[in-house]
Amino acid sequence: MPPARLAELTALAARTVEEIRAALPAPVQAAAAECPAILLTMEAWAVEQDEPVDEELMGLFCGMSRVEGPPSGPGDAPQILLFLDNLWAWCEADRTCFAEEVETTFLHELGHYLGLDEDEVADRGLA
């Protein structure tokens, strides 16, 4: 992904996540503040983690969920990863779709941080 496109998508995704966080109910907003959103490309993550590229993965929750208790070390710290290149490709380079998918993916992964499993997240329309 060209650096200019990545910068544009990073700014759009960051703005979208900020708007989502601001619109959450107060108790959820406080919990969401504990879990940073990391905006990166799948390629960068795959290289860093020595994992194969997964072109279908748009987001990932890492670390300990809120129901598991506080992290026992830095590797357990909660974070939401949003893979901007995969989201952009999924949306076929459509900015409106991209913002909507960032929202859905962020809320899906936030659900995992809050302790919801895949079925519970899907029941809320975030699959």
pTM for this predicted structure: 0.93
**Amino acid letter for position 49:** Q
- 124 pLDDT band, cuts 50/70/90, is confident
How does pLDDT run across 11-50, given as a tens digit for each residue? 999 999 999 999 999 989 999 999 999 999 999 999 999 9
Asked whether the predicted pLDDT for residue 125 surpasses 80, the reply is: no
**Coil, helix or strand at residue 11:** helix
CATH number of the domain encompassing residue 54:
3.30.2010.20
Domain containing residue 93: 3-123
- 17 against 118, higher pLDDT: 17
Q: Tokens in use for 11?
A: 């700014």
Query: At residue 126, does pLDDT exceed 90?
Result: no
Number of domains in the chain: 1
DSSP per-residue codes, 83-123: EHHHHHHHTTT-HHHHHHHHHHHHHHHHHHHTT--HHHHHH
Could you read off the pLDDT of 44-101 as tens digits, one per residue? 999 999 999 999 999 999 999 998 888 888 888 999 999 999 999 999 999 999 999 9
